[in-house]
Amino acid sequence: MSLETFWKSPTDLKFPLLSKEAKEKEFIDGVTDDFNPNELKGLSRRKFLALTAATLAVSTVACTDYHDKGEIIPYNKKPENVIPGIANYYASTCTGCSNHCGILIKTREGRPIKIDGNPDDPITKGKICAIGQASILNLYDPERYRKPRKRNGTNFSDIKWQEAFNELLSKVKLANNTGSEIAIITPKIESPSQKRLFELFLQKYPTTKIYSYDTMTDYPRRRASELCFLTPEPPVADISKAKVIVALESNFLGNEGNFVKNIAQFTENRNIDNPENFNRLYAIEGIMTITGANADIRIPLNPTKLLDLVLSLISDLLNVKQIANGTVYEKVKNYNLEKFAKENNLETKQLKYLLRDLVENYGKAVVIAGDKMPVDLHIAVNILNDLIGARQENNESILIHDFETLLTPLSTLNDFEELIQKVKSGKISVLINFDTNPAFDLSSMEFESLMRKIPFTATMTDSETETALASNLIFPINHNFESWGDYKVSNNTYTTQQPVIEPLYGTYQKEDILLGILNEKLDKNSYHKFVKETWSTQIFPQSNSGVNFNEFWTSVLHDGVYQLPSSKTSFPKINYDAINSITQQSKSGYTLTLKNSYNTANGKYQNNGWLLELPHPISKITWDNYAVVSERTAHKLGLESNKMIQIKANGKLMEIPIFILPGTVDDHFSIEIGFGRRAAGTIGKEVGFDAFPITTLKQMFEGYLMNLEVIPLPNKEYKLATTVEHHSLNDNFTKDLAKKRHIIQDGILADFIAGKEIVEHTHDAKSIVPEIEYNGVKWAMVIDMNKCVGCNACVVACNVENNIPIIGKDQVQRGREMQWIRIDTYYTGNQDNPEVANQPMLCQHCDHAPCENVCPVVATTHSPDGLNQMVYNRCVGTRYCSNNCPYKVRRFNFYDYRDQFANHYQKADSLALMMNPEVTVRSRGVMEKCTFCIQRISEAKASAIAEGRQVRGTDVKTACQEACPASAIKFGSSNEPDSELYYWRNHKLGYHVLEELNVKPNVTYIARLRNKVETKI
Amino acid sequence: MKAQYDYTIEPEVIENSPTLAQINDVIAAPMEAPPTKGWKIALAISSTMLLIGAISLGFSFYYGTGLWGNNQPVGWAFPIVNFVFWVGIGHAGTLISAILFLFRQKWRTGIARFAEAMTIFAVMTAGIFPLIHTGRPWLAGYLFPLPNQHGLWVNFTSPLLWDVFAVSTYFTVSLVFWYVGLIPDFAMLRDRTKEKVKKFFYSLLSLGWRHSNRHWNHYEMLYLVLAGFATPLVLSVHTIVSFDFAVSILPGWHTTIFPPYFVAGAVFSGFAMVQNVLIILRKIFKMEHIITIDTLEKMNKVLLATGMMVGYAYGMEFFIAWYSGNPLESFVFVNRAFGNYAWAYWIMVTCNVVIPQLFWIRKLRRNLVVMFIVGVFVNVGMWFERFVITVTSLSRDFLPSSWDYYKPTLTDFGILIGSFGLFFTLVILFIKFAPVVSISEVKGVLKSSQPHHH
């Protein structure tokens, strides 16, 4: 059949052609006339569909909450060596204080996030102090100066760099041309490049005078060294060579000298596996310090009596050892220990033991006097040290003259007194503050009012200071981590400093500015070149390295440390005549010592919240300073802690709250300097009380030990923010609980050597639930309390590593401090001379964690490798876990602690850069605690997987372990029988805190052995 | 000489032999009259207190729990103390309604309805606290075992979870029990009222009650079963609440005496609160013949008995603290009495142990002023008991380095005031819109309703 015979309708059948036509035209005539796709303003069906699909895709993508999309630019050309997610480490030097410890700066994605010690530094061997750890906060301080500022009236306004520089240059040239002085106030100059810079500057501008000072320096010891050894550089002690150390009001383990090195050297001989070679530390001091807390024998004594003590020791020593020394004998013939003991109500026996130890350990004993003690005491101590063989002309000597010359001498009292005269007579027309703050710490010479008399003052600083606010021109400078530099740290050792980030705010190094004045042209990279030149001309030639300079320089920068092949030490003979310059000055009435601060580098870091919030190692007070006083004296004055007193010293007044601390001698006060700054940003506002104004300039050079008048102000109270409850040791109810509850277990070294049991195990019960098997790695920690001195470096390291917020003084007063690890300091015995124990306390990661079963939402769980985990996003914040934790190591975010200060300080963008990207930043209402640095464990696991092996306990170092200068913290897996951790965990002297609760903690504490002379003092 | 008290004849439960109609009139009167000035003033005061609480809570949600005094180590303070306090108060109602019903104590009829209402309001007030005291209350849903795509359940071994179940069960059962009891009364009101709105609501609430025998049959059976349900709750709910403390390891919390001690304490404070409010109620509503002095006296006897149990528990805790030889345990208790919270401890002991002893004297037991004052002191004392238990044990626990003092803030007080505000607002609204006495039950114990010869 043909096609034409098919039909669909009658019409089809009747009129086939007509319907065929109709079929070809799909729509009825007219319907589609208006529909012309080409006239649809460009929107065809195809286009429409395409657009719809695109919109859908775009909107889907845009609907995600990924607000950084479009802002994160992946590396098109990846910078060399930068792999996102992998950290780079750069060697540099810390400039927190003048110890200049070598550091390694950990950077992530091109910005520094953590500082640790440089293991290649021969002096500090990879450790730094709490201040060094926390100094990273200053880099990212939201209140750093960004632009130069010029004063008009009482306000400052931003000006351009070139303008500021030109003004300074013109003022300097004018001063030079008119013969008037250009005064530059600098810190201690220990950098060869800085020294060269100043030398060149002095050549070009001969009217310049450099005034360098450092409040943390031991001026009295230096003066005594001048008198005794004819060099201002005193010998440096290597404590590890000493078996007997006598600290006379010296806090060499706490904050004097290079205490990081001291701690490491001291704890070298506190090894419980080598008990025969334990050292013995005597501390004779007026208030409790870290050194006193770690002493085997502590004798409380008013520091004004120390001179008499030393003279008595010398006298008895001359007698016992039959030494003939006429000069010395003349001075000390009327002294002896028995008389001294009687006059001062001490046990003669104790002093005799001290003498015996000094005599029996010739060449292995050293006496150290406090940095701020009078010159006279240091002279006497120098002589005593020579008599006991602490300083000998051989390599075994404890005291070695390791520093030939300070690169630029520190200014003397005379220099400053001349400065005052010159200002008053108008001879100084330009003052440049080279990152110093004399308006604050030289207030003993009323520096601020002096500044106002000088026609033109410029200050180079990175953030607000009193000096900056009193200047005409402020130059914002680079932070340490944005700078180049070099430092001489011993006779033959240099460290280098290199920037790890472009200056955040386009600032210059302070040296760049001076170089600019020198070259009359401000150039960003000038100091970098200058440092290289110094090395190529001064140090490289001595190096015998065999490579060209560039290779040498690169390798030095890489290591961060360079030691010249030969070391020259000297041995000046002692000038015994110096003893005749000692003038006995007895002080009756109330006495006062001023001491370096533990945490603020004498005021420099008063804008660093982490440091201010660190509990003071002895008093556990945060934020402020106070006057330490004994209980008896306070009650005599009718006062309790937190009440205020008015002090009059050197004719000047100040008010300060008191705080009663055990171990303080009566009628004696002690205040830390470096608080009470008037202009230190949001954080540093109204913190503490400034003691510099009641001192005289002379005292900075000759020691801070003075008489004072005290007026009690019982109606004035200042609530100090302390993290613990303080109880008098005279209160029987609360006394000695740490010992009674076996939280602290310690013993006498002699007993241990004799084989007696030191540690008591209080737990023997069996568990009623089946034990969980841990077959792989099981993380555990051991803390050796023989080594922990309580320096707080671990606390700050943990803060930096884990993004711990700063909560502010009022929150600490409420009792909400957020530090995941804390140092518990327990006092036992009597109020006048207690025994002290330091115990770092952190999450114990208990096998039977009491916190885990009480959380209603399963926010805290146990991992198969033995960690107690905290799941932040599940936590609703019932705080039951914290209640059930017997160690109270959990921390709750009662507020959004990242928004705790005025101006949303902690939410600033720059601080966001500082956060460790591997650690969650916790929100309000969430519980947190130590995680055993799970981010580091995860990193180690990832590396192990990449290497195709199992992770090992030794692969991970927690932040606290890394930071501890004494290496008191050990971490690893308790399932590795051949590991160091396993050994310590199962040591005879190891115990757990609160064993009887059967929570099975995984932190073992090694009982402390005290090297006492007899079993009971 | 006054005749000796004759205990052979049981005193009438309802005095003055009112008729059934009179009972209706008296009890319905407060609902039918326009709001009195006194009522308005009372509501204004309690609403203000509620407002203070709402504002304090609002600030707490916005700024965080840091507005309270809680710290480390005292993670639980006012909110938990308030929670236990209010849950405790609720127990009196259930005891009166359910347990006394099962014991066939007729004197409960005058007070059962009101007591049960107070239970519900107390549990409502208490139920707020576990939700708001968390750091992230908007995630309170995590506390409930809701199926989710993570396959994540809640932690059934945690006492706080048991609380969630116990309190919600308690609330549900009490509500149902109370409502079922109200059905005949709403029906009576529905039949009485002339106003259209009220008629609508009462009709709705009375579920079509026809006063028929069948209805009464079902009602009595259901009521008995619900009473049976509610009875164990009196003991179990506060036992669970006590487990919040007893299941932890903290000395001062971890003792086996807590369940009976807490239950006794709950009944103690609950009866004091019920008795206090009833004294006021009977006066203003002229129901002295329904809520008789005899009833109040019986309540006071229960008060004395439970007070003695609480006192015994205090003594036994001290004894065991010494007898156990556990220094941590003995420290906690000596610290409570002589440490830095001794002031709270002695308030607690005076109010809970010493003052209720007045009830040994019959005359004082029957004196309205005395019993009101004693009731107030008992509640103060019981609040302080929870405070002492919670705060002192946390404040000075195992490691002396963690010790710290707790001080409440204004926000804490605001929330406490607010809880009283909520409770009393609900009570005041209740007395306006529902019958405060169980009409049908009272009628059941009237002399005139018993079979008798005329």
Measured between beta carbons, which residues in chain B are less than 8 angstroms from residue A855? 155, 158
Q: In what helix (H) or strand (E) does residue B82 lie, and over which residues does it extend? A: helix B78-94
Helices (H), B285-409: 293-323, 327-338, 342-349, 362-365, 368-387, 393-395
Would the CB atoms of A893 and B134 count as touching at under 8 Å?
Answer: no
* Phi-psi sector, B144: left (phi>0), alpha (psi -120 to 50), beta: beta
Q: What is the mean pLDDT of chain B?
A: 92
Nearest to B76 among A883, A896, A923 (CB): A883
C-alpha–C-alpha distance, residues B81 and A733, integer Å? 27
What are the phi and psi torsion angles at A562 (to 5°)?
-140, 130
C-alpha–C-alpha distance, residues A323 and B358, integer Å? 87
Q: Which CATH class is domain B20-449?
A: mainly alpha
Percent helix, strand and coil across chain B, each rounded to 5? 75, 0, 25
CA angle B304, B309, B312 (to 5 degrees): 125
Nearest to B72 among A815, A850, A896 (CB): A815
Sign (positive or negative) of CA dihedral A982, A988, A990, A991: positive
pLDDT of residue B304: 95
Within the 498-527 window of chain A, which residues sit less than 8 Å (CB to CB) from chain B? none
pLDDT of residue B318: 92
* Residue B78 token pair: 């006012």
A984 touches chain B (CB under 8 A): no
- Best mutation target among A734, A855, A894 (most B Cβ atoms within 10 Å) is A894
Measured between beta carbons, which residues in chain B are less than 8 angstroms from residue A923? 136
CB atoms within 10 A of CB A453: 14
Measured between beta carbons, which residues in chain B are less than 8 angstroms from residue A839? 401
C-alpha–C-alpha distance, residues A17 and A20, integer Å? 5
A408 touches chain B (CB under 8 A): no
Are the CB atoms for B352 and B382 separated by under 8 Å?
A: yes
Nearest residue of A to residue B331 by CA position? Answer: A733
Cα–Cα distance list, A13 to A21, A27, A29, A903 (Å)? 14, 21, 22, 91
Measured between beta carbons, which residues in chain B are less than 8 angstroms from residue A853? 155, 157-158
C-alpha–C-alpha distance, residues A200 and A221, integer Å? 31
| pLDDT cut 70: percent of chain B above it | 98
* Mean pLDDT of all residues in B42-56: 96
Task: Determine whether A427 is exposed, middle or buried from the number of CB atoms within 10 Å of its CB (0-12, 13-18, 19+).
Answer: middle
Residues lower than pLDDT 50 in chain A = 1, 3, 40, 61-68, 1015-1017
Task: Give the distance from residue A867's alpha carbon to the nearest chain B alpha carbon, in angstroms.
Answer: 19
* Residue A587 token pair: 């002080």
What DSSP string runs through A960-1005? HHHH-TT--EEEEETT-TTSHHHHHHT-TTEE-TTGGG----SEEE
* Residue A383 token pair: 């002589």
Within the 862-891 window of chain A, which residues sit less than 8 Å (CB to CB) from chain B? 874-880, 882-884, 886-888, 890-891
pLDDT of residue A568: 72
Of the candidates B384, B252, B269, B265, the residue with the CA atom closest to the CA atom of residue B318: B252
Would the CB atoms of B249 and A886 count as touching at under 8 Å?
Answer: yes
Is A212 in a helix, a strand, or coil? strand
For B378-399, letters b (16+ CB in 10 Å) and e give: bbbbbbbbbbbbbbbbbbbbbb
- Report pLDDT digits (tens) over B103-145: 988 888 889 999 999 999 999 999 999 999 999 999 999 999 9
DSSP-derived secondary structure letter, A664: P
Would the CB atoms of A854 and B76 count as touching at under 8 Å?
Answer: no
Task: Give the distance from residue B412's alpha carbon to the nearest chain A alpha carbon, in angstroms.
Answer: 14
Nearest residue of A to residue B338 by CA position? Answer: A733
Measured between beta carbons, which residues in chain B are less than 8 angstroms from residue A882? 72-73, 75
Measured between beta carbons, which residues in chain B are less than 8 angstroms from residue A924? 64, 135-136
What DSSP string runs through A519-564? HTS--TTHHHHHHHHHIIIIIGGGS---S-HHHHHHHHHHHSEEE-
Would the CB atoms of B73 and A874 count as touching at under 8 Å?
Answer: no
Nearest to B134 among A734, A895, A925 (CB): A925
CA angle A60, A63, A69 (to 5 degrees): 100
pLDDT at B379 over 80: yes
* Phi-psi sector, A433: left (phi>0), alpha (psi -120 to 50), beta: beta
C-alpha–C-alpha distance, residues B364 and A778, integer Å? 67
Nearest to A886 among B158, B160, B398 (CB): B398
Nearest residue of B to residue A878 by CA position? Answer: B134
Question: How long, in residues, is chain B?
Answer: 454
Nearest residue of A to residue B130 by CA position? Answer: A878
Pairing of strands A822-828, A835-841: antiparallel
What DSSP string runs through A798-857? HHHHTTPPP--HHHHHHT----SSEEEEEEES-SSS-EEEEEEE-----TT-TTTTT-TT
DSSP-derived secondary structure letter, B163: H
Task: Give the distance from residue A879's alpha carbon to the nearest chain B alpha carbon, in angstroms.
Answer: 6
What DSSP string runs through A328-351? HHHHHTT--HHHHHHHTT--HHHH
pLDDT of residue A546: 84
| Residues near B278 by beta carbon (within 8 Å), at least 6 away in sequence | B111, B114, B291, B296
- Best mutation target among A724, A857, A860, A923 (most B Cβ atoms within 10 Å) is A857
- Report pLDDT digits (tens) over A158-181: 999 999 999 999 999 999 999 999
pLDDT of residue B18: 84
A333 touches chain B (CB under 8 A): no
CB atoms within 10 A of CB A800: 24
Would the CB atoms of A879 and B327 count as touching at under 8 Å?
Answer: no
pLDDT of residue A12: 59
Of the candidates B233, B268, B211, B282, the residue with the CA atom closest to the CA atom of residue B384: B268
Q: What is the mean pLDDT of chain A?
A: 90
Are the CB atoms for A306 and A248 separated by under 8 Å?
A: yes
C-alpha–C-alpha distance, residues B141 and B131, integer Å? 9
- Best mutation target among A888, A994, A996 (most B Cβ atoms within 10 Å) is A888
pLDDT of residue A65: 47
Sign (positive or negative) of CA dihedral A195, A197, A198, A204: positive
DSSP-derived secondary structure letter, B398: S
Q: In what helix (H) or strand (E) does residue A314 lie, and over which residues does it extend? A: helix A306-320
Measured between beta carbons, which residues in chain B are less than 8 angstroms from residue A994? 398-399
Nearest residue of B to residue A891 by CA position? Answer: B72
Is A83 in a helix, a strand, or coil? coil
Measured between beta carbons, which residues in chain A are less than 8 angstroms from residue B164? 856
pLDDT of residue A763: 73
Would the CB atoms of B249 and A741 count as touching at under 8 Å?
Answer: no
What are the phi and psi torsion angles at A184 (to 5°)?
-115, 120
CB atoms within 10 A of CB A170: 11
pLDDT at B435 over 50: yes
Helices (H) then strands (E): counts for chain A: 34, 40
Within the 734-773 window of chain A, which residues sit less than 8 Å (CB to CB) from chain B? 734, 737-738, 740-741, 743
DSSP-derived secondary structure letter, A248: E
pLDDT of residue A771: 84
Indicate the domain borders of chain B. 20-449
pLDDT of residue B14: 84
Edge to edge, what strands does the sheet with A591-595 contain?
Answer: A705-707, A591-595, A668-672, A627-629, A652-660, A643-649, A709-717
- Report pLDDT digits (tens) over B334-366: 999 999 999 999 999 999 999 999 999 999 999
C-alpha–C-alpha distance, residues B18 and B26, integer Å? 10
pLDDT of residue A430: 95
A810 touches chain B (CB under 8 A): no
Nearest to B154 among A857, A893, A926 (CB): A857
Would the CB atoms of B154 and A858 count as touching at under 8 Å?
Answer: yes
Would the CB atoms of A876 and B143 count as touching at under 8 Å?
Answer: yes
What are the phi and psi torsion angles at B252 (to 5°)?
95, -20
Of the candidates B347, B336, B323, B346, the residue with the CA atom closest to the CA atom of residue B396: B336
Cα–Cα distance list, A891 to A725, A969, B360 (Å)? 18, 22, 50
Nearest to B155 among A733, A743, A856 (CB): A856
Task: Give the distance from residue A187's alpha carbon to the nearest chain B alpha carbon, in angstroms.
Answer: 39
C-alpha–C-alpha distance, residues A535 and A526, integer Å? 15
Q: How many CA atoms within 13 Å lie on the side-chain side of B11?
A: 18
| Residues near A771 by beta carbon (within 8 Å), at least 6 away in sequence | A847
Nearest to A856 among B65, B161, B398 (CB): B161
Are the CB atoms for B242 and B262 separated by under 8 Å?
A: yes
Cα–Cα distance list, B314 to A804, B325, B340 (Å)? 42, 18, 19
ipTM over 0.95: no
Nearest residue of A to residue B146 by CA position? Answer: A857
Nearest residue of A to residue B137 by CA position? Answer: A876
Measured between beta carbons, which residues in chain B are less than 8 angstroms from residue A891? 72
pLDDT of residue B2: 54
C-alpha–C-alpha distance, residues A383 and A390, integer Å? 10
pLDDT of residue A1013: 87
Nearest to A724 among B130, B155, B403 (CB): B403
pTM given for the model: 0.90
A120 touches chain B (CB under 8 A): no
